[in-house]
Amino acid sequence: MQKRGIYRKAQIEHEFYYILAQLLLIVLVGFALFSFVGAISQGTLYNKNYISRDVALIIDTIYASPGDIHYVYPVDISEFIINFKKDNVEVYEELKLYEKMHPSRISYPILVDRNIALENKIVSPDLDINLKYEGFQLKIDKVGDKLIPDKNE
């Protein structure tokens, strides 16, 4: 005699696999969503964009000063490497990316003053990427007709 309802073994198995499939789908979708949000939260695009523009504006402002200036940039930039070029500021995430001139860099132009020489250099927490230390700050000194960026010791 056939029994009705879910008490038949085949029906139980079917229901089990059906629920398992739904759970698997939930896990996959959940994992994908969390990865997506995690990637957005750890993203550095905004930070690089912000720092490149901020530092470029600071250089433009310091150019205008009539005397000598010692300026320490208050934002902690331990995670980044700043390259002061002839006419722009580039921000990289890692030294290896700088060495490859990687397109993930963000740069912003500086309004160069022909009367004041900007020293072209890279400012990074440490040239060895594995030895980054916390609280690394950038300083910019204007001495006479020279602008010298460096790390603040």
Residues of this chain that interact with another protein (CB under 8 A) are 5-6, 10-11, 14, 18, 22, 25, 29, 32-33, 36-37, 40, 45-46, 49-50, 53, 57, 60-61, 63-67, 87, 109, 111-115
Identify which of residues 22 and 78 has a Cβ nearer to another protein in the complex.
Answer: 22
Cα distances (Å, whole numbers) of residue 136 to 42, 54, 63, 82, 104: 20, 17, 24, 12, 22
Q: For residues 96 and 128, is the Cβ–Cβ distance under 8 A?
A: no
Q: For residues 116 and 146, is the Cβ–Cβ distance under 8 A?
A: yes
Identify which of residues 64 and 72 has a Cβ nearer to another protein in the complex.
Answer: 64
For residue 139, the cross-strand partners are 72, 150
Cα–Cα distance for residue pair 78/152, rounded to 1 Å: 12
* Cβ 113 to another protein shortest distance, Å: 6
* Cβ 118 to another protein shortest distance, Å: 11
* Cβ 96 to another protein shortest distance, Å: 25
Identify which of residues 34 and 101 has a Cβ nearer to another protein in the complex.
Answer: 34
